[in-house]
Chains A and B, each alone.
Chain A
Amino acid sequence: MSAGRILVIDDDPQIRRAMRASLTARDYQVTDARTGEEGLEKLRSSGYDLVLLDMNMPGMGGIETCRLIRSGSEVAIIMLTVSNSEKDKVGALDAGADDYVTKPFSMPELLARIRATLRRLPQPPDNTDLKQLASQGVEIDLASRQITVRGRTSHLTAKEFDLLSYLLARPNKTITHRELLQAVWGPDYGDELEYLRVFVNRLRKKIEPDPSKPQFVITEAWAGYRFHLPKQGSNQSV
């Protein structure tokens, strides 16, 4: 029984060999690709659970590849970056990656990241909340992770969906950064505020009628985030 199917996209053959050996030993099914173009071609045959994507590749770079993958698929993506700079990290997350690891990385760290990225929240949100949300003009289809706002349909990635589920299950309550990070990404996380910043922005683009003036996912400065759900029966209009 496979632990998951992983596509490794990296231009360096030695890294691909090392990944294949180590990941196969942990029961992952590994396919590799030398370029972004080849990776996109292989992703057409669906069934991958996760993509390990190198940031610096000749031809189509990692960021562009990530964006193209994201435009047609919700597969989990971990980016491998050389630079430790905030700009590159946020760039990776903005392009749609779920996580990033800085090269050179230790294999246990990468395995932990892969597990965290593939990890799913156990319970979906309560259905009554969804009905309440639908009355606000936002429809969520749990099975397909589809979201429809004012006739505009978009898909949520797994991590975006988990983040939304966690917030939605605790409406009108401020959830701290740390709690959110540990709940959605895993116990090893807690200080990666840039993850939340980028993911909340991505979420707002899909759920908010006007992402620049959020009315559902509210930022509580210095504390965390809160999902604003108007009380049932109130006449508040959108």
Chain B
Amino acid sequence: MVRLLRKRVLRVTGRLIAALSLIAAITFVLYRLLHVNATTAGLCYLVAILIIATSGGLIESTIASVAAMLLLNYFFLPPVGTLTIADPQNWVALFAFLATSLTASQLSARAKRRTKEALDRQHEIERLYSLSRALLLTDATKPMPQQVVQQIGQAFRFPAVTLYDRHRDEVYRAGEDNTPELKGKLREVALRSTVFLDSESGLTITPVRLGGRPIGSLAIRGSSLSDAALQSLLNLVAIGLERALSQEAVNRAEVARQSEELKSTLLDAIAHEFKTPLTSIKAVTTDLLSDPGHTLPQHQRELITIAVEGTDRLSRLVTDAIQLARIEGGKFTLHREIHFPSSLISAALRQMKPLMDGREITVSAPDDLPLVWVDAELIQMVITHLLDNAWKYSPPGSPISIGARTSEGRVMICVADQGRGIAEEEQSRIFDKFYRGKGEQNLKSTGMGLAIAREIMDAHGEQIGVVSKPGEGSEFCFSLPIARRGGNE
């Protein structure tokens, strides 16, 4: 800082000596060689002062003006050779000369300053433009904030630039800055959203805001930027950081989608591998059992029946386990659309009826039910699991009912059976994986149906529950969101 000041003093002194030399040279020429009158001398001095003012600064031209005034008085105004003035008219002329030369100095210095400012603005704009261009062409493989500080350092030739990204809580540097606790200061500025200035070390820390929300801060050493340019720079930084964030979000979503796709492909392959041998076993055993020639002895028929039932059970286990793996943890995409609750029920019934030994199923769904906003395939799966459950845990021949109604702004679908009910202490556990009920030896159940149903309801952000009294049967109900006019998204 001190060195800079000394340099400036030297430069001004040099120019001052040159200016005074010019005035002295003019005096010599006019007084000794040409012997001109006072008016001509005054005009010549004025021209010299104008030249000094346009090429130098205000200080030099002011001092030169005073010097010229004294010289004019001493050498050209009578009585010549003294600083006294005899004729009062000459006082007026002398002061007119001083005022004119000072005003000319001022005007010329101001014009020079304006020109310099305009040039500075132009440079700033050029640098901002080159920065914005560079920020648009960043390399997607490198961290964006690091590239932002490097580009700022390059474009504006600051000795040191440091950027604090509040989202990542990271500091990115370009150039050497050994200010202690810089990260702490940066964080404070971002948090308080106020400017920090240290004129002694030439450090400026300004908050970076986007839509009024502070998203980081920027420290610049040796900044000579105008406020407007600094503001534009900060806006560019904010946009750059925001772009980096949204790019990251897109990348994350893409990775999630790919991993979901991979999982789905893997599960499809597993399903195929398990079901292929099951298919030949089932085809062969059922063909044997069909016994077109009625030649099968009773005990062989019984043995093959056991094999067929084992195959069916294994097949159900594979289906349920894969369904559960597909939806477990909620990491799958819902394909929500607008549906009639009654068509969801009838689709599930179509699928289940052939498997339920002609059990009586009553359906009660009013015609004026509102439309629901759901993934139809998954909701049908919930209904089929509940129907399957009701069928397995109630005596053969007892009726099953399925109904839909509106309740508290949602559509409730309920499946009720007349089985032996579920004890209260068990009711909270039946939705757990592989739980099959106390002392329950129901070989048809895989213990996964209700867990699958709950996962699906969780993914929809809806509830599923059971009301049951031992001896009086059970009723499973779940809620569905009503479709809003114009879609729910």
Contacts and interface: CB of A to CB of B under 8 A. Distances in A.
Contacts of B278: 103-104
Interface string A18-49: 11011001000000000000000000000000
* Range for the number of chain B residues in contact with chain A: 20 to 34
Given A87-B377, A104-B311, A12 B286 contact: no
Contacts of B311: 104
A192 B351 CA distance: 9
A191 B286 CA distance: 24
A17 interface: yes
A19 B268 CA distance: 24
A104 B286 CA distance: 11
B319 A84 contact: yes
A191 B350 contact: yes
B283 A15 contact: yes
B270 to A, nearest CB: 10
B290 A17 contact: no
B350 A22 contact: no
Contact of B279 (A103, A109, A193): A103
Contacts of A21: 284, 287
Given A15-B280, A15-B283, A18-B284, A104 B275 contact: yes
Contacts of B279: 12, 15, 80, 103-105
A106 B283 contact: yes
A87 B381 CA distance: 14
Interface string B360-402: 0000000000000000010000000000000000000000000
Contacts of A17: 280
Contacts, number: 70
Main secondary structure of the interface of B (DSSP, over half): helix
B330 to A, nearest CB: 20
A9 to B, nearest CB: 14
Given A15-B279, A84-B319, A107 B272 contact: no
A107 B286 contact: yes
A12 B276 contact: yes
Contact of B271 (A82, A108, A191): A82
Contact of A15 (B268, B276, B308, B351): B276
A106 B353 CA distance: 17
A179 B377 CA distance: 27
Given A12-B280, A14-B277, A14-B280, A104 B377 contact: no
A105 B205 CA distance: 73
A22 to B, nearest CB: 5
A21 B350 CA distance: 32
A110 interface: yes
Interface string A85-115: 1110000000000000001111111100000
A191 B350 CA distance: 6
B353 A191 contact: yes
A4 to B, nearest CB: 17
A165 interface: no
26 contacts: A12-B276, A12-B280, A15-B279, A15-B283, A21-B287, A22-B283, A22-B284, A25-B292, A56-B268, A82-B271, A82-B275, A83-B271, A85-B377, A86-B377, A103-B279, A104-B278, A104-B279, A105-B283, A106-B282, A106-B283, A106-B286, A107-B284, A107-B286, A107-B287, A191-B353, A192-B350
